[in-house]
A and B are shown apart, each in its own frame.
Chain A
Amino acid sequence: QVLLVESGGGVVQPGESLRLSCAASGFIFSSYGFHWVRQAPGKGLEWVAFVRYDGSSEYYADSLKGRITISRDNSKNRLYLQMSSLRLEDTAVYYCAKARSIWNGLAPGDWGQGTLVTVSS
């Protein structure tokens, strides 16, 4: 079955960088697009970024552009999110989510359990 396991979260100070990782298994990783979605404590879902199945295109939330990079390694079945210049308001649970449909599907389907990023001085 589909399994998505995020890692890399933790407590960081404002201005620091962090790289999140999502290990995928149970399906053909290279056939699906992937999202990162975050959720601040007590808040709704906020979309962060999307990368197409072949890595040919990346899309970012306007509010985060310039500070984040989504990438994937299809040889390792891994998705990444590089975050820099972290701010207090970046504190959230970060989820990776696999697109529901193969190839050019967009809708998030399966979700990981999330990794908590806490930005605190």
Chain B
Amino acid sequence: QSVLTQPPSVSAAPGQRVTISCSGGSSNIGNNFVSWYRQVPGTPPKLLIYDNNKRPSGIPDRFSGSKSGTSATLGINGLLTGDEADYHCGAWDSSLSAWVFGGGTKLTVL
């Protein structure tokens, strides 16, 4: 059971927008920054979003992050078939003194 809760799967058509939610609590998302990672099976995760809504260099602006209260959302505009991957959220948990991940969301581009 993950500390952060994500939907197991989401799907959308190419060109559409999809959002992936990440729900936590006051000790993690509520008071700390959220990061998002993209992972193609068999490869390491790649940082997509950090500090709730910042993109590392090289990440297209089709990817966006937001946070409200104890929940965070990853948005992907203009879906491409190449966006199919697993997406993970993460944050520091001040009560656990631990980094926590969500269970991951599998994105299918139909």
* A-to-B contact residues, CB < 8 Å: 35, 37, 44-47, 50, 59-62, 95, 97, 100-101, 106-114
**List of A residues within 8 angstroms of B82 by Cβ:** none
For residue B15, give the distance in angstroms from its CB to the closest CB of chain A: 28
A107 contacts B33, C-beta separation under 8 Å: yes
Contact A108:B44 (CB < 8 A) given known A44-B102, A47-B98: no
For residue B100, give the distance in angstroms from its CB to the closest CB of chain A: 7
A101 to B97, CA, bound (A): 18
A104 to B99, CA, bound (A): 14
Choose among B2, B47, B97 the residue that contacts A44 (Cβ–Cβ < 8 A).
Answer: B2
For residue B55, give the distance in angstroms from its CB to the closest CB of chain A: 12
A114 to B70, CA, bound (A): 31
B104 contacts A44, C-beta separation under 8 Å: yes
Q: List 18 A–B pairs whose Cβ atoms lie within 8 Å, in order of A's numbering.
A: A37-B99, A37-B101, A44-B88, A44-B101, A45-B104, A46-B101, A47-B98, A47-B99, A47-B100, A60-B98, A107-B92, A108-B47, A108-B90, A109-B47, A109-B50, A110-B47, A111-B45, A112-B44
* B-to-A contact residues, CB < 8 Å: 2, 32-33, 35, 37, 39, 44-47, 50-51, 56, 86, 88, 90, 92, 96-104
Give 20 A-B pairs besides A37-B101, A44-B102, A106-B32 with Cβ atoms closer than 8 angstroms. Answer: A37-B45, A44-B88, A44-B101, A44-B103, A44-B104, A59-B97, A59-B99, A100-B50, A106-B33, A106-B92, A107-B33, A107-B35, A107-B47, A107-B90, A108-B37, A108-B47, A108-B99, A109-B47, A109-B56, A111-B45
Measured CB to CB, the nearest residue on chain B to A42 is B41
Contact A45:B50 (CB < 8 A) given known A108-B35, A108-B99: no
A61 contacts B98, C-beta separation under 8 Å: yes
Contact A45:B97 (CB < 8 A) given known A107-B33, A109-B56: no
A109 to B44, CA, bound (A): 11
